[in-house]
Amino acid sequence: MRIIAGGGGRKPKLSLKEQIILTLVYLRHLTTFELLGIQFGVSESTANDTFNYWLPILRELLPSSLIE
């Protein structure tokens, strides 16, 4: 018997679209995660975590010439 209902937990601070844009902005401008956090209204660590989550996914989907 489940005590905690499914689908619970903290909601993401950024939408999927915003997370991908954050990652692409970093790759394009190579700014600091502190500035990215300020731009997107999240903490520096959240910006870093978001980038590190999406980078491997984008590496699989996009040609390496666009990522590197």
What does the H/E/C string look like for 1-68?
CCCCCCCCCCCCCCCHHHHHHHHHHHHHHCCCHHHHHHHHCCCHHHHHHHHHHHHHHHHHHCCHHHHC
- Give dist(CA 68, CA 30) in Å, integer: 11
Across residues 40-59, what is the average pLDDT? 95
pLDDT of residue 67: 65
pTM over 0.75: yes
Q: Which of 4-8, 24-28, 51-55 has the lowest mean pLDDT?
A: 4-8
User: Would you tell me the crossing angle of helices 33-40 and 16-29 to the nearest 10 degrees?
Assistant: 140
